[in-house]
Chains A and B, each alone.
Chain A
Amino acid sequence: MSMTRKEFLGSTAAFAVTFGGGHKGMAGETAAEQVPFKAEDYASFRRTLRAFFPPGYCRKECQDPVQVEKAATIRREMIAWSNAHPDHDALDARRECYMLMRRHFYPILFPDSPFYCECGVNGGWSGARPGSSVFAVCYRFYKERGLVPDEAFDILRARSKAHLTLCCGPFVDSVHHVPPFRTIYAKGFSGVRADVAEALASCPKDDPYGRKELETALVGLDTIHEIQLAFAKKAEELLSAGLPDEAARRNMRRIAEAAKRCPWEPPQTFFEALNTMWFVREVLGYVDGLANQALGHPDAWCIGYYRADLAAGRITEDEMRELVAKFVVYADCHESGAVPVDSYDDQEVEIQLTLGGCHPDGKPVWNELTKAFLEAHIGCDCVYPKLFCRFSSTSPEEYLRTIGAMILKGHSVFTLLNDERHVANSLGYGFTLSEARDYVGGGCWEGYVDSVTDVDDSNYVSLMKLLEMTIHKDPALEASAQVEIEPIDDAKSFDDVRDTVMRNVLRFYRSLIAYAVRYGAAGARVFPHPAYTMCLDGGIKSRRDTTEGGVRFRPKAFTLAFFGSFVDSLMAIRQLCFVDKTCTLKELLDVVRSNWSGPRGEELRKAVLAAPYWGDNRPETNDLASWVVRSVHDGIDGLSNEYGGPIVLDLYAYREFMYWGRELKATPDGRRDGDLLSQGMSPSEFRCKAGVTTVINAIGSLPHELVYQSNANLTFEPSAVSPETFASVFRVYAKKGAHEIQPNCTSVAELLDAQKHPERYQHLIIRVCGFSARFIALSKRWQDEVIARHRLH
């Protein structure tokens, strides 16, 4: 398309990625000129789906009244059952819930959708799902059965309320899970069931709990089978009732046949392989109440099925493209665009799709499916699924340029995961090379080996809140949140300051870890996931639920949130008080405490803003930044979590850089009360003045091998980049060894114009933080935040 970015943003344009001349096809062939994907071709499909998915906030229920009633019935009957059986445990409840699902599951099929999967699991949050009613009826066990004392919950609440920490569940991140795709591709749910049955037959008598876990899992797996068959039956009913058009009849005939078999049995065709991704995501979200479910890696996993179907005449290229388009549009319709993106529960639906990267044998994944998914995503004007594009310094040039071209068109929907870091890290954790190479994206910016890893990654720790407490002092909070803070006021040297702050940080990390170890595994007695557990490596062998560490790899991550602001604060103290001696430490701390007021307030703030900052790539800044990572890593290294897995370190936080920043007092980095914090390992937006290469070189100086996951959200000036330069930047970034980059590409002038003329910018999608959104759908405060970002050029 020769359309300019400006024309594209306001158009209803089709999109095909071409770079002059014909598209060089895969395997050295030149593909025939394809008809670009057009959003209007899927308008009617969208209307059908939007009439089903929630009209407003993503956490609300889907709109089919029968399904809503059935889900409510399950919850109601669960509560009644629980009241009638006061001595039940969580596995009893899970078993009962599975049985109720068999009775009340209501399959939804859309005649114009080729897929069978819909269980009403919207968005990334488990809240209203029937599978979560187990948690609802067992939550009281924490108190009743003495699993966690009230005092521990009080401390957890005090820490959350003060924005010291965020934890997506009591002492555990129970929200982020990645479905076990590879297991189901390999042996189907039936294969898992056979293995569980075998394990049950040989289960030792002295392990009643393990026996019960296996027995419950069998019930869960059979429930999944029943759900699958219910789709086949529903398709047959729709066919016999009569469908108006041939396309719908074709969809239902295919479903009626496929849903009798797959994914109970492994997929046999391209269609079944694609549908398996949706089905596994939805069904485990439904039965086990799992949340934040990713989709898989279709261009890697389904290409063999597609080529076999194509060779056998079972599918045409156009049919493949139609399936791909409907696959992405299906994901996109989970959000409505009807509410402004502003808080946590608006339009963030957590559907992640992985593309590119490499196969288990190391060969690059860049094929006709990769291209179709990328083109369909922009051509059909999708915000979702989130695209997790894996890359490395040796990725095919055309793949990287295609991503660059999409970003330049204003379609910033990417989390780019660096294979070189993720594979190396996984090898360090004992994965085989082929497992390590076969990872998928999940959450906001993470990479996981599905079917092996269960995730416990969103336990945020605010370095900046600890620093704020160190400076501003809050004895009441110290008491309620059980945080012990040493002051820095009397420090005689910068090393004193640095070491004292780090002692405060480490003391708090260790306290969090101690609480997690003591109480985290209690989750198994409240919210077990037996069907899911048995699909993950290690579950069957250990006979222990994933919630208590039954699966092979269950690390627990604590994040270093607001890393850039933290480094900047320390660098400011160092520069002003101990290098330039512009003021004493006491003077600086007093000025910070007064929110930069007083006679020297502005002068000192100006000096701070001229001081070295994270991202400037000066040796002294890089050294301090690395020292921070290394000190925290070494301070918790070797500790085990409640599952017996490792404690690891992440470098990110989600929308908290705004929400928590709003309530954080002034800090030495020049922030005033309420100013925003830095994102991931990106430089602070209001400090950074450096260019592309300087910032990336600085990021490259960190010891990434000590970090489990990290992200950097970087905004490029459109006039400074081209698809070619993006490709080069990505290659360099991969070599620098960081985990992830989220590129944005906007100019301030363009965004200001978009605020004035939103109708001209319907297609402008920007990366907010761990998700993307249409710029015009953002609330004013988020629009202003995006506009205020530093542009790299």
Chain B
Amino acid sequence: MKGKRAIVFEIERFATHDGPGIRTVVFLKGCPLRCMWCHSPESWNPSVERYSDGTVIGREMSSGEVVSEVMEDKDFYDASGGGMTISGGEPMFRWEFVEEVFSKVRANGVRTAIETSGYAPLSAMEAVASVTDLWLYDVKGMDASKHREHTGVDNRTILENLRWLDVHGANIVLRCPMIPGVNDFDANIAALGRLASGLKHVDHIDVEPYIPYGIDKAHKLGLKVYEAPSPPEGYAGEMVRRLSGFTSVSVRRG
């Protein structure tokens, strides 16, 4: 198989939560962010690695191999309005690969979505935007210093790239992870609402409540992630209600 190569740590078929319809989600390894609550710390390291029990994480695949697997479910995408999604890690970390895969599947009539933090050079955003039908765009916090504290990086590039996408007419779904005691305070929620209201092409906002999937995985990798308190019952609904109070954009549970 020809084409650019990347380390893929999971391909999820029949995925119904990462974009519309039935999709195949390809998860790439490598992420410049270190979100303290991360539920997939196995995606941080850009190389193939092993858990302490010996299980191998990731395999190198060419864009052709990925496309070939994605195309197997074309009938399902067509019947459901679905397609393929590339996620991570941070897929923009391997934006040339993403661009190549998306170009190939689009040439075969498959719609594309990317799930990203938006932390990438503008030139990369421009390249990928030309082959992307939907941006599932994470906004993890509006306060710059808190963002740096929680994710290890500044949010300035992220917000600039988001505005650039909006100006250029990209289809956007904002995804807001809500971590109890970390970013679920009023000021952040209000600022998220204002951000969404100020953009023209946000279809809706997905509130994504904290899930503690990353803890065991981090442990098996000798890493640590923050263990937030379990969200109380009704937390997601409450977050949806609160965020809805600050924006006219539709807010859903992701």
Could you tell me which A residues sit within 8 Å of B by CB distance? 393, 617, 691-694, 697, 720-722, 724-725, 728-729, 731-732, 735-736, 792-793
Contacts and interface: CB of A to CB of B under 8 A. Distances in A.
A722 B72 contact: no
A692 B13 contact: yes
A725 B13 contact: no
Interface string B15-34: 01000011000000000000
B72 A720 contact: no
B14 interface: yes
A697 B21 contact: no
Contact of B76 (A617, A724, A729): A729
B80 A728 contact: yes
Contacts of B16: 720-722, 725
A793 B22 CA distance: 11
B76 A728 contact: yes
B10 to A, nearest CB: 12
Contact of B79 (A393, A691, A697, A793): A393
Dominant SS among interface residues on chain A:
helix
A208 B33 CA distance: 92
A691 B14 contact: yes
Nearest to B80: A728
Interface string B65-80: 0000000110110011
A226 to B, nearest CB: 53
Contacts of B76: 693, 728-729, 732
A731 B82 CA distance: 14
Interface in B60-99: 72-73, 75-76, 79-80, 82
Contact of B13 (A393, A693, A728, A735): A693
Contacts of B14: 691-693, 720, 792-793
Contact of A694 (B13, B22, B75, B79): B13
B72 A617 contact: yes
B217 to A, nearest CB: 20
A57 B135 CA distance: 59
A725 B80 contact: yes
A428 B91 CA distance: 51
Which of A694, A729, A731, A732 gathers the greatest number of chain B CB atoms within 10 Å? A732
Contacts of B80: 724-725, 728
A736 B79 CA distance: 12
Interface string B170-202: 000000000000000000000000000000000
A724 B79 CA distance: 10
A697 B24 CA distance: 14
27 contacts: A393-B79, A691-B14, A692-B13, A692-B14, A693-B14, A693-B22, A693-B72, A693-B73, A693-B76, A694-B72, A697-B73, A697-B75, A720-B14, A720-B16, A724-B80, A725-B16, A725-B22, A725-B80, A728-B22, A728-B80, A729-B22, A729-B79, A732-B75, A732-B79, A735-B79, A736-B75, A793-B14
A334 to B, nearest CB: 37
B65 to A, nearest CB: 15
Given A692-B14, A725-B16, A728-B80, A735 B75 contact: yes
Contacts of B82: 728
Contacts of B22: 693, 725, 728-729
Contacts of B79: 393, 728-729, 731-732, 735
A168 to B, nearest CB: 37
Interface of B: 13-14, 16, 21-22, 72-73, 75-76, 79-80, 82
Nearest to A792: B14
B12 to A, nearest CB: 9
Contacts of A720: 14, 16
Contacts of B75: 697, 732, 735-736
A731 B22 CA distance: 12
B21 A728 contact: yes
A398 to B, nearest CB: 15
A168 B155 CA distance: 73
Nearest to B21: A728
Which of A694, A720, A725, A729 gathers the greatest number of chain B CB atoms within 10 Å? A725
A272 to B, nearest CB: 40
B83 to A, nearest CB: 12
Contact of B72 (A697, A721, A725, A735): A697
Nearest to A793: B14
A201 B80 CA distance: 60
Given A692-B13, A693-B13, A694-B72, 19 more contacts: A393-B79, A617-B72, A691-B13, A693-B14, A693-B72, A693-B76, A720-B14, A725-B16, A725-B80, A728-B21, A728-B22, A728-B76, A728-B79, A729-B79, A731-B79, A732-B75, A732-B76, A792-B14, A793-B14
A729 B73 CA distance: 11
A134 to B, nearest CB: 51
A278 to B, nearest CB: 37
B16 to A, nearest CB: 6
B139 to A, nearest CB: 27
A699 to B, nearest CB: 12
Contacts of A692: 13-14
A289 B168 CA distance: 74
A731 B74 CA distance: 13
B236 to A, nearest CB: 16
Nearest to B15: A720
A731 B81 CA distance: 12
Contacts of A731: 79
A691 B16 CA distance: 13
A371 B12 CA distance: 35
A401 to B, nearest CB: 12
Contacts of A393: 79
**Shortest beta-carbon contacts, A-B, top 4:** A728-B80, A731-B79, A728-B79, A693-B73
A215 to B, nearest CB: 56
Which of B75, B80, B82 gathers the greatest number of chain A CB atoms within 10 Å? B75
Contacts of A721: 16
A728 B81 CA distance: 9
Contacts of B72: 617, 693-694, 697
A517 B145 CA distance: 86
A694 B76 CA distance: 11
Contacts of A693: 13-14, 22, 72-73, 76
B34 to A, nearest CB: 30
B13 to A, nearest CB: 5
B252 to A, nearest CB: 13
A728 B21 CA distance: 8
A418 to B, nearest CB: 14
A617 B73 CA distance: 12
B72 to A, nearest CB: 6
A793 B13 CA distance: 8
B254 to A, nearest CB: 15
A393 B13 CA distance: 21
A688 to B, nearest CB: 14
Contacts of A697: 72-73, 75
A142 to B, nearest CB: 52
A567 B89 CA distance: 39
Contacts of B21: 728
Contacts of A792: 14
Nearest to B82: A728
A720 B15 CA distance: 8
A393 B75 CA distance: 11
